[in-house]
Amino acid sequence: MTSIQKTVMIIEDEPDAAELFAEMMRVNGFRVIKMFSSAPAIPIISQEKPDLILLDIMMPDISGLEILRYIRREPELAEIPIIVVSAKSMPGDIKTGIEAGASIYLTKPVGFLDLKQAVEKVFENTPPA
């Protein structure tokens, strides 16, 4: 990895899950931004332009799917890899998430190695900025 620290934004309404994901990312050398609500995340995504977003689907205000669709419509944000991490695990839920633009869709509970491999995979498939 280059000397520039990559930033991961975590959008997750459950504080314990958000902190668990944040710690997984910090251990791997990432700078972490945690958001517990999706509505305020939109301007921060535009401002920070994180290198990766971990996104929950079931949020109390704006659905994670709406956030995902918004990011994919915005030219300056559309290339940000997004890993959905959701308790919605039915095949139709996963299909909807992928069709909305998720780079990878993981179902909760997600283990450290699964998340690490997903992050490595999206960065392998993402051209350098």
What residue segments make up the domains of the chain, in order of their start? 7-124
Q: Terminal CA-to-CA distance of the chain, rounded, Å?
A: 14
pLDDT band for 2, please (50, 70, 90 cuts): very low
Segment 15-42 mean pLDDT: 94
Q: Which CATH class is domain 7-124?
A: alpha beta
Kindly tell me the sign of the dihedral angle through the C-alpha atoms of 118, 86, 66, 51: negative
Beta sheet of 31-35, edge-to-edge order: 31-35, 7-11, 52-55, 82-86, 104-107
Q: Is the peptide bond before 91 cis (omega within 30 degrees of 0)?
A: no
pLDDT of residue 83: 98
pLDDT of residue 25: 95
